[in-house]
Amino acid sequence: FGRQLHLREVVASTQDEVRRLAEQGAAEGTLVIAEQQNQGRGRLGRTWVSPPGKGVWMSLLLRPPVPLPLSPQLTLLTAVALSRAVSKVVPGLSIGIKWPNDLLVGGKKISGILLESAAEDERVKYIVVGMGISVNLDPEDYPEELLDKAISLKMASGSPVDRVQLIADVLEEFELLYGLYLEQGFEPIRTLWEARSVTLGRLTVLRTAQGTIQGIPRGLDEMGGLRVELEDGSWRTVYSAEIGG
């Protein structure tokens, strides 16, 4: 992956760059990395702080041979790849995955993942995997209200981190896990994800489109949904929700 590499100084969002290349027929593994995004996007329509030279802001094109409903599995795969890469580059930092795909250090977010997909006949035509890692941001790079929720690797570890090494490790881990996924399906990814999760086993409030539920997430189902044990002993599987509270 990344052999078709497009390096950009400033873009609105690397997601849009890769979408455009995908529509022009670009191959799986095409990667766009930007030094700066001036309209970086997060999940749920949020903006993503992407100042110049301080983070890894990149998007990867995938063309997995899977039905569209399985595409969230690739979010979980990406979270595992990012957490393994960060652990390699900054050993000693304890990184947890908050379902579905935020990387946390000490309860604060260091990285986010945004999947955007296009479908044809209910199969995936392409997926754009957006990865944002807050590497060398300083406190003044964040809006005030994010400082109790977000942190960079530099702030968490006390020293600057080599972005090029980190990108190389992310791509290596991604390629390894993606190969495993295509060969063996989601099961090995699920095991790796569960081992790194900070969401499982804790009483959690989940805001879903159908309302708020409270329970203890116990694991993932075979599609990547979160299996939650409710207080009355019944079970719910949640495919999309916000965790908090």
Supply the minimum distance, in Å, between the C-beta of residue 157 and ligand BTN.
20
Q: Which is nearer to ligand BTN, 101 or 204 (CB)?
A: 101
3-state class percentages of the chain: helix first, strand second, coil last, to nearest 5? 30, 35, 35
Determine if 75 is a binding residue for ligand BTN (CB under 6 A). Answer: no
Determine if 14 is a binding residue for ligand BTN (CB under 6 A). Answer: yes
According to DSSP, the residues that pair with 6 across neighbouring strands are 32
Q: What angle, 0 to 180 degrees and rounded to 10, lies between the N-to-C axes of helices 163-184 and 72-89? A: 140
* Phi, psi dihedrals of residue 182, rounded to the nearest 5°: -70, -30
Determine if 152 is a binding residue for ligand BTN (CB under 6 A). Answer: no
Q: Which is nearer to ligand BTN, 170 or 228 (CB)?
A: 170
Q: Is 43 annotated as a binding residue?
A: yes
Binding mask 35-74 for ligand BTN (x = CB under 6 A): --x--xxxx--x-x-x------xxx---------------
**Token pair 């027929």 is at which residue?**
25
Determine if 2 is a binding residue for ligand BTN (CB under 6 A). Answer: no
- In the list 2, 64, 132, 215, the residue contacting ligand BTN (rule: CB under 6 A) is 132
* Contact present, 180 and 190 (Cβ < 8 Å): no
Which residue has the CB atom at the shortest distance from ligand BTN? Answer: 112
Give CA–CA dist 223/14, Å, rounded.
Answer: 27
Give CA–CA dist 42/39, Å, rounded.
Answer: 10
- In the list 15, 73, 78, 197, the residue contacting ligand BTN (rule: CB under 6 A) is 15
Known binding-site residues equal: 37, 41-43, 109
